[in-house]
Structure 1
């Protein structure tokens, strides 16, 4: 009996019940009630913060969200037809699906399919469009809590880290502007860190087997988290995630080599991480391989033709350096870590009207890169107390600094240029400031170490004087900030705004010097400066409160729980105070109105219901728009919106200009939809309503015969289009000789589209000789195959952007089918990788359960098997 009672003592002992300043030990299992309470707080905080969307049905009706919603009818049509859409015909004369839409029913990828099905059933995006994204914030917060709890062995510090990481201003802003794939790319990252650290700790324990059941489970879960992250299809965010993990592992290896400590464990962890990453990529092989193939022919994989001719860029640098670095953070803007309003903030409301007061050097931004002043001072504290002795803190500090300098882009290009010039694929990325998401994660973790250090000092009763001095420093910082807010700095601030790049940007937008001067003096300076002064006072107050709590805790005036709870409360209030100003909610009618029936779309669909036989182009202010809205009405557009268009399309628009009547004719454009009357005599007005519709007088059907062809260089062809000095029906321009005699078609030659759908086009053709048949469909070297009477025929690149076939005399059935071999190969790899992951996971779970059952029956519980 005594022996049994002895065994039960560790189970009955509950660290969370200890009184005084002693903190609850988080070594207890996950299923203790405290974890449920704190996870509930995280979930409740997210729901309350986004209450307008969760409970009132409000939405964010920004351009990126509308661009994505434009494809709802396309996806619904594909689903009803039982078709998995690989091609989108509605924008840019067509482009592959995967770079556009990431939420597709890939049922053969059954791990993600199960996750997506369950998640979709819970969130029901058809009734609430923002709820699925909001819950990804909750997943991120819960994951961060689990990771921080594992790292700090302290539930309240874990709660602090989870809430401050979740409510970092730039992360919150992603849902507002519709960058939902970035939210998904980040949502599972804390869990990736968790399972990676579990592997590192397990391999450092020499008593455990490399292929223990626990390690197999952690490997499988790590691979699964990486795989779900990959399904965001946001390659730049994924690259940054892997870069952070790579720097972390590499630093630990270097540290252990220098310190001559055990290195085998971290090497094994690195190998397991590579295995998990390869599994994740393999499970997503259909998407990754297709995107990789497409990348060769997109803006992100090939430089523009003018840049190549002018030798402005290398062949392996697809994006122009200036374009790639437009959204570069700047050293001066680091001040927004402390004063988010200093550079104007971004989108704000002034007297009920939305305005953008940003005056920094980026083209524009909607929000500051703010992660909390409390997080900032605690991160500095964590570095100060832990940098010398803790390699993890060293690694996170290095990551924070490296990522900050990378975010500077062209404004401090030392580190960024190394990646841009020498790292594979990096030159395909734009907006260096995007890396702040991962820098913020590292800084939040460092701030957790700051709290941990304060607690350890008080518990250990060492360096208490040093801690008090730290409190005095914080009081001094708060006092200095308040003093500056009293004295003011309006003169220097006015000079900074007046001499910034804002005036030049406004001038390029057509503003006069007087308008620019009035805008800066009457809008920017008074509002941004006043808010900066308010920030100084409020943040000084927040710092003083936290410093006071810290001092009271150091002098045993308050318990550790009150200190931590108070710090959490102030940190969240600080972030919410800033973040609420970024939530520009719209009524659900805003998105519905964007896709409501219109008089001009009704006219088009009634007049020309077969939308596969023509295209439209939208003009706004006489310029081609970047808009996907017409796809919702199943109208095929020459224009559209996407950051990775097919390269030759972008070349044509850049060189010949998108409004060029001949380019529009080559693109199969029959109608122009314009917000105002057009003066170009190439078009005739046929409808006037809420918008004008003009018919292209030179419209050529999307399949037509050319009398013959000429061989010219690519830039010469584009210049001919720009100069509008040829008739496409008379001559087709090819870039290489097809070495075939082409007969001029007579009046009996004909071509008719008999079937058009997502993946195929079918024509009845009557050729009167060896005729060249040109199609107003975008040329893409992979995926599309042509068949004449069932026999494959070569597709020729024509007029720089189009396709053509040589059709022999007689009546024929001509087909185009989109059958990308790389996709079907990737699909097979994906199925195989899913099966392999399933085997690893089942082996780990079954083995662990069997071992645990045996251990329970013998009374020998292995604590290291606790997952």
Structure 2
């Protein structure tokens, strides 16, 4: 046998080289300056995961639970080492061992390249589409925000579509392998919102394919191919089984689960899930998807972006702002004039939009209609509350949809289809030798997109450009008017920019069609202009300013206040009063009442809204009055809050001598009959002496107990707490640990006993008279069973990948001699 580098192999190698070099170019500070992207969400995650990592490093075991934030919660949605080493290896190999998270952009290009090849696009044109897909500002904004999981899920989605398409085209083995591998790597990232949108795309594609095959009388092959894909899906899901089971089970007890309180149930009578106003808080305006073509159609970023020679800059100087401070002032003024509370534009690329319009005109219906549906459906989803009749119906009745927020993420759906639509249209022109009919469609597409950009340039000055964010500037009417002039200028400049790129791409295609550019140089030029188009906009939001050397070290440098608290080696919690429920920095060092997580336990969120927020205000009032009596903070005290942190200085820490401690005996039980009654009574109760228990859920024989005994924590680990108790009669012990109904096991002297829930969120036990050892351990069956299924599925996947792709590589590289 001899290795043969055919033309196609060389083209694939060139594609990989282009993707690799573009990744290095865009993220050069990572490769040449040893810097990392400063990602706020990732830094918050590092704070939340610190206790888990320390326990894992010390014991070699998984804690599966952490007490570092929100009083305590399962680690399933934070950090758990599952049996997914094989899938992680495949992900690393797939991205050529590039560093995380920049390798996800490389993976986007590779996956989309494979998708386009699967649909019959030539390699060089596939490079154009892959670059256009990977470097959209949507993906770069993911990295800026620290939404690595979202970008990772996006990166492997095209591979799944490629496998599905190949399977339905009769290439069952390669289709099975691509779909199973893509799904395994996609699910490993664990961003189920993108998975949900991907499932919608697959359903739309499958329906369209079914209709086409039915018309051809090929229903039986369609069913066979569907069965192959179902097997691939089961294999891919098997590699994720434990995580999926844990996520599904955990969701029932979170904000995404069924509400406990009557007011919440009345607000959502038909379903569990998120609150509607929370889920649709970020919703695109009806015309806001125009930013896919003209990035500054709505002003661009939330703040800044104004020209220092613009109208607002001139007005600021007239107002007496020194010239050297004008740029700083401009960066604090709102450029975005839409209705979202905070956003950045998701730019698809002017060239990609132009090519997609071209594909929409020239392609036959069976190739394009399913993509039209995906694009329209995805855009409609992003409108959220601004298309409430549609989206609220889906939220109330569409399975699983009410579990997700930030509906603008659904723009992933059109962004996935637009380059595919465009490249298929261009490929058709190549196959038809750019015949007269195809060129007619080309001229229409060029005129439509270029004409729209031209109209935006001409009529930009006619918009109102008023923004909800202008409210604080009403006392400066001349500055407001100048701002609106500058917003029009931003739109006009970017419309002109989009026009130039459309014309540039159109010129490349025109000269290619007329034989003035070769079949090699035309795609090369298209790659160049497409790269410049999307990368130059993405650079506005992810550039050298976003890279720092070891951002975690700076973010997690312990303050003087932290060092004071860390001097106390007991087990307790800390209440940081600086935005506590959006802060995991505290969790890096301490067990915190607050934290940072999108899926808090439902009951703890209720506790925040109904009790903790009020007690935080009460705490401020107490301190301002010069008092250090915190005995009235019953909820704060029952969570064993020993320290209040008001800032980073040594003097900004207060010790709370009224905290209840890790465990205590109560003298009285107040029985209630509903969650509403339970939380109403809790706020203001002396939790040291009274326990509130929902009698409809838990049986407590007595209402009075002897609280003269003692109970103390002997040893602490996130997943195991050991106490010693002594009492002369049966007692009711309350523990400052969050009650979670699945996984926690309580034993008294080695005998398992039922765990009660008290005070809305805490654990409680009825302890018999005498001296006892009480042990709580977290033993979720989800982890032990799920891990075995994942490991077995991963081995099968590895065998499939080696056999199928090994055979494909052998076919490409070797000739029999």
User: TM-score normalised to the size of structure 2?
Assistant: 0.88
Aligned residues of 2:124 and 2:524 also touching (Cα < 8 A): yes
- Residue 80 of structure 1, CA deviation: 3.2
1:364 to 336, 339, 342: 342
Structure 2 match to 1:20: none
| Distance in 1 separating the partners of 2:133 and 2:809 | 38
1:139 aligns with 2:129: no
User: TM-score normalised to the size of structure 1?
Assistant: 0.83
1:398 to 348, 373, 378: 373
Structure 2 match to 1:800: 760
Tell me the secondary structure at the aligned position of residue 440 of structure 2: helix
Structure 2 match to 1:303: 259
Structure 2 match to 1:266: 222
1:90 aligns with 2:57: no
CA shift digits 1:494-524 (9 cap, x unpaired): x2x32x4335xx6xxxx57537x687545x5
| Distance in 2 separating the partners of 1:330 and 1:812 | 62
Aligned residues of 1:328 and 1:411 also touching (Cα < 8 A): yes
Cα 1:320–1:277 change in 2 (3 A) is same
Structure 2 match to 1:422: 397
Matched length: 769
Aligned residues of 2:707 and 2:731 also touching (Cα < 8 A): no
Tell me the secondary structure at the aligned position of residue 439 of structure 1: helix
Unaligned runs of 5+ in 2: 306-326, 616-632
Cα 1:419–1:779 change in 2 (3 A) is same
Cα 1:835–1:464 change in 2 (3 A) is closer
Structure 1 match to 2:559: 598
| Distance in 1 separating the partners of 2:291 and 2:649 | 47
1:701 aligns with 2:661: yes
1:290 aligns with 2:261: no
2:384 to 409, 417, 421: 409
1:569 aligns with 2:528: yes
Cα 1:796–1:120 change in 2 (3 A) is farther
2:743 to 783, 790, 795: 783
Structure 2 match to 1:197: 165
- Residue 141 of structure 1, CA deviation: 0.4
Aligned residues of 2:454 and 2:499 also touching (Cα < 8 A): yes
Structure 2 match to 1:41: 18
| Distance in 2 separating the partners of 1:549 and 1:746 | 85
Cα 1:653–1:83 change in 2 (3 A) is same
| Distance in 2 separating the partners of 1:346 and 1:306 | 40
| Distance in 2 separating the partners of 1:95 and 1:13 | 55
| Distance in 2 separating the partners of 1:708 and 1:729 | 10
1:671 aligns with 2:647: no
Aligned residues of 1:303 and 1:320 also touching (Cα < 8 A): no
- Residue 532 of structure 1, CA deviation: 1.4
CA shift digits 1:814-833 (9 cap, x unpaired): 01111112322222332343
1:720 to 681, 698, 708: 681
1:762 aligns with 2:722: yes
Structure 1 match to 2:40: 63
- Residue 617 of structure 1, CA deviation: 1.0
Aligned residues of 1:217 and 1:841 also touching (Cα < 8 A): no
CA shift digits 1:213-265 (9 cap, x unpaired): xx4464244223211211112111111112211211121102322x2332223
CA shift digits 1:272-297 (9 cap, x unpaired): 22222222222222211122111111
- Residue 730 of structure 1, CA deviation: 2.0
- Residue 354 of structure 1, CA deviation: 5.2
Structure 1 match to 2:142: 174
Pick which of 771-780 and 583-592 moved more.
583-592
Tell me the secondary structure at the aligned position of residue 763 of structure 1: strand
1:380 aligns with 2:357: yes
Tell me the secondary structure at the aligned position of residue 751 of structure 1: strand
1:445 aligns with 2:445: no
Structure 1 match to 2:599: 644
1:559 to 518, 528, 533: 518
Pick which of 149-158 and 164-173 moved more.
149-158
| Distance in 2 separating the partners of 1:373 and 1:471 | 16
Structure 2 match to 1:433: 408
Aligned residues of 2:36 and 2:547 also touching (Cα < 8 A): yes
| Distance in 1 separating the partners of 2:355 and 2:399 | 36
1:247 aligns with 2:204: yes
Aligned residues of 2:460 and 2:492 also touching (Cα < 8 A): no
1:105 to 81, 85, 106: 81
Aligned residues of 1:746 and 1:768 also touching (Cα < 8 A): no
| Distance in 2 separating the partners of 1:76 and 1:746 | 36
Tell me the secondary structure at the aligned position of residue 78 of structure 1: helix
2:577 to 619, 636, 639: 619
| Distance in 1 separating the partners of 2:645 and 2:250 | 30
CA shift digits 1:742-775 (9 cap, x unpaired): 653354x111111111211100111221100001
Aligned residues of 1:742 and 1:772 also touching (Cα < 8 A): no
Cα 1:119–1:453 change in 2 (3 A) is closer
- Residue 197 of structure 1, CA deviation: 2.1
Aligned residues of 2:358 and 2:445 also touching (Cα < 8 A): no
CA shift digits 1:608-634 (9 cap, x unpaired): 113xx21001112xx53411112222x
